[in-house]
């Protein structure tokens, strides 16, 4: 018979219950997951997984350019190739494996209905250069998505094409720069104000667009210091960039005053909308005086996160900035849909384009699918449940761990500092590594930078109470072990992961990004 521990997992009754008994396996495998060398280090370079007849003629149009050396790729049979990549995929954590509580990143479940819709051939098999008359349905979908986004935000216009949140920031600031240029004020307005708690992309984007970044202080309760902001606003400021709810998981109480002061100074209000999932359906950023805001479809609207790849970060724009939106955009002519692409059309003030074509169609389909399956009432509940879940975690951990801002409820993220680890010799990093052993992806660590040893937990609305309870029980056990002085459990963690502590500094400073053939080997490297 197995016994249950407090996390609800059965523990084996005999040898394995002696936690010190950890045999190294002969093969390096763990459980049913085999260890294997890199694909380039295996045998069978002469092997191929396909069997094609020899070409009828050896003639080639390439003349002298025909390759004479081996191509330098390992040979694998089909099952070997499949297994290699499936094993690799199992070394990654995924939202489909367990809770992924990365604060600010909003890792929520990707509904399979979205995937099904995105794979409909009418959406997935079209080409961006097809005549517009043959893709009217796709254009109508983009128009509907734009309608949902402008309605939910209370903003008049949206640029769909930016491919990520950071790309959306670039879009917003370029529109702001174009607006100042149109007014002849660009030369004098060279500063962008950014609060200390901002995501790193905010100052990076401002600098990239050529602005100098001025930091705005934060109050003791984690909000923008309005007096400090007011003292820094002036005729030399182009814009402010404020995240709301901010990266401490708190609503900016003085947001109306912030936007009033900004506009009074002739500057624009860029809102980082990465945390829109906390207020969607409840608060319209347009009503707060926002001029531009990106919406990470992979955060608020459940499209997959794509390693910097296939994302979408549409930017909603105010009346003042709308004329400068990048091409293209969709208009309903009454007689069908068309893409406005060129200056000789209505796009004469557009600051240019942000990508070659129309943006990430597959993400548009998924996001609209999520919106339509929730409806407006369901989207409001998304925000309510995201906030409720975060507050539940905060309430159930605050007796053991130290909330960074104990006063009042949080929004969609529960933020703790490392005050509670004082005197234990255990750091936020050690604690996070021990979470891996418990089967949980760590929360966001050391961000926002303004909170010492920050642990930023975002459960999202897609976790059930049972899942949250499992997570909370694991966190409580670990916190108890940390306070009881079980330092080894943390310093040595992770014990159960395929790789343990890596030299992260060396990996960042001198990464080896290419496999090199061993000395004396005849394999191409
Ligand atoms: C995620 C995030 C961004 C950047 O968005 P990407 O889509 O990753 O480029 C910017 N600001 C905040 C607050 C974020 O959480």
> Tell me: the pLDDT tens digits for 314-346?
999 999 999 999 999 999 999 999 999 876 667
Task: Compute the distance from residue 163 Cα to the ligand 1 centre, in Å.
Answer: 11
Q: What's the gap in Å between 247 CA and the centre of ligand 1?
A: 10
Given this model, what pLDDT does residue 521 score? 67
pLDDT tens readout for residues 105-123? 999 999 999 999 999 999 9
Q: Is residue 14 scored above 80 in pLDDT?
A: no
Mind spelling out the 3-state secondary structure of 248-268?
CCCCCCCHHHHHHHHHHCCCE
Q: Match 């108890």 to its residue by tokens.
A: 480
Rounded to whole angstroms, the Cα distance separating 98 from 466 reads 12
Mean pLDDT of the chain: 91
Q: What is the DSSP string of 157-170?
A: EEE----SHHHHHH
For ligand 1, what atom is nearest to the CA of residue 198?
13
The predicted-structure confidence for 142-164, as pLDDT tens digits, reads as follows: 999 999 999 999 999 999 999 99
Q: Are 275 and 444 in contact (CB under 8 A)?
A: no
pLDDT computed for residue 344 by the predictor: 67
- Strand order across the beta sheet in which 191-195 lies: 157-159, 315-317, 292-294, 268-272, 237-243, 191-195, 212-216
The ligand 1 atom nearest the CA atom of 311:
7
Burial class (CB in 10 A: 0-12, 13-18, 19+), 293: buried
Q: Which residue's CA is minimally distant from atom 6 of ligand 1? A: 165
Atom of ligand 1 nearest to the CA of 169: 10
Nearest CA to ligand 1 atom 5: 165
What sign for the dihedral angle of Cα 30, 32, 33, 36?
Answer: positive
E strands in 321-388 = 329-332, 337-340
Q: What is the mean pLDDT of residues 404-418?
A: 97
Percentage with pLDDT > 90 across the chain? 76
**pLDDT 10s digits, 442-490:** 999 999 999 999 999 999 999 999 999 999 999 999 999 999 999 999 9
With CA atoms as reference, report the closest residue to 191 among 176, 211, 220: 211
For 356, the 3-state DSSP assignment is coil
Q: Which protein residue has the closest C-alpha to ligand 1 atom 8?
A: 165
Q: How far does the centroid of ligand 1 lie from the alpha carbon of residue 276, in Å?
A: 11
Mean pLDDT value of segment 278-304: 97
Q: What is the pLDDT of residue 498?
A: 82
Instruction: Report pLDDT digits (tens) over 435-444.
Output: 999 999 999 9
pLDDT in tens, 187-223: 999 999 999 999 999 999 999 999 999 999 999 999 9
Atom nearest to 168 CA in ligand 1: 9
> Angle, to 10 degrees, between the axis of helix 201-208 and the axis of helix 165-182?
40
**Which residue from 103, 104, 245, 278 has its CB within 8 A of the most atoms of ligand 1, so it is best to mutate?**
104
Q: CA dihedral defined by 423, 428, 432, 437, rounded to 10 degrees?
A: -20
pLDDT band for position 73 (50/70/90)?
confident
Q: Where do the DSSP E strands lie in 224-328?
A: 237-243, 268-272, 292-294, 315-317
Q: What is the pTM of this model?
A: 0.90
Q: Which residue has the higher pLDDT, 27 or 14?
A: 27
Handedness of CA 397, 402, 405, 406 (dihedral sign): positive
Task: List ligand 1's pocket residues with C-beta within 6 A.
Answer: 104-105, 164-166, 199, 201, 243, 247, 272, 274, 296, 311, 313
pLDDT tens, position by position, 360-405: 999 999 999 999 999 999 999 999 999 999 999 999 999 999 999 9
The CA 292 to ligand 1 mean position distance, Å, reads 15
């Amino acid at each position: 018979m197995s016994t249950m521990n407090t996390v609800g997992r059965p523990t084996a009754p005999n040898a394995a219950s002696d936690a010190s008994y950890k045999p190294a396996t002969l093969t390096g495998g763990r459980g049913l997951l085999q260890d294997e060398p890199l694909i380039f280090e295996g045998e069978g370079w002469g092997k191929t997984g396909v069997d094609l007849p020899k070409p009828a003629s050896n003639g080639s149009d390439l003349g002298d350019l025909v390759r004479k050396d081996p191509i330098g790729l390992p040979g694998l049979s089909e099952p070997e190739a499949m297994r290699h990549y499936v094993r690799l995929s199992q070394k990654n954590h995924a939202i489909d494996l367990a809770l992924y509580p990365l604060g600010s990143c909003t890792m929520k479940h990707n509904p399979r209905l979205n995937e099904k819709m995105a794979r409909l051939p009418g959406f997935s098999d079209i080409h961006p250069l097809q005549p517009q008359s043959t893709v009217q349905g796709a254009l109508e979908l983009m128009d509907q998505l734009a309608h949902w986004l402008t309605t939910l935000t209370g903003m008049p216009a949206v640029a769909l094409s930016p491919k990520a949140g950071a790309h959306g920031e670039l879009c917003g600031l370029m529109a702001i720069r174009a607006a100042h240029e149109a007014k002849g004020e660009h030369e004098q307005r060279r500063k962008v104000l950014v609060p200390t708690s901002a995501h790193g992309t905010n100052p990076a984007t401002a600098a990239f667009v050529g602005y100098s970044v001025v930091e705005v202080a934060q109050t003791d309760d984690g909000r923008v210091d309005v007096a400090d902001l007011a003292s820094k606003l002036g005729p030399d400021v182009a814009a402010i960039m404020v995240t709301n709810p901010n990266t401490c998981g708190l609503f900016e109480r003085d947001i109306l005053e912030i936007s009033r002061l900004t506009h009074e100074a002739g500057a624009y209000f860029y809102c980082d909308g990465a945390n829109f999932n906390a207020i969607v359906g409840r608060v319209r950023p347009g009503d707060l005086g926002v001029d531009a805001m990106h919406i990470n479809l992979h955060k608020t609207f459940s499209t997959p996160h794509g390693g910097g790849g296939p994302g979408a970060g549409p930017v909603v724009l105010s009346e003042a900035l709308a004329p400068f939106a990048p091409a293209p955009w969709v208009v309903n002519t009454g007689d069908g849909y068309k893409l406005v692409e060129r200056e000789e059309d209505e796009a004469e003030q557009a600051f240019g384009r942000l990508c070659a074509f129309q943006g990430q169609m597959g993400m548009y389909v998924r996001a609209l699918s999520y919106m339509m399956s929730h409806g407006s009432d369901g989207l409001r509940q998304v925000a309510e449940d995201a906030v409720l879940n975060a507050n539940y975690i905060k309430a159930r951990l605050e007796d053991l761990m130290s909330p960074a801002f104990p006063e009042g409820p949080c929004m969609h993220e529960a933020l703790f500092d490392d005050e509670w680890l004082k005197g234990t010799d255990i750091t936020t990093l050690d604690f996070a590594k021990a979470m891996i052993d418990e089967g949980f992806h760590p929360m966001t660590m050391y961000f926002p930078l303004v909170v010492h040893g920050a642990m930023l937990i975002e459960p999202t609305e897609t976790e059930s109470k049972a899942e949250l309870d499992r997570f909370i029980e694991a966190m409580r056990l670990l916190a108890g072990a940390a306070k009881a002085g079980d330092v080894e459990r943390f310093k040595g963690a992770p014990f159960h992961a395929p790789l343990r502590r890596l030299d992260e500094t060396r990996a960042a400073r001198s990464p080896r990004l290419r496999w090199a053939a061993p000395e004396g080997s005849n394999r191409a490297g």
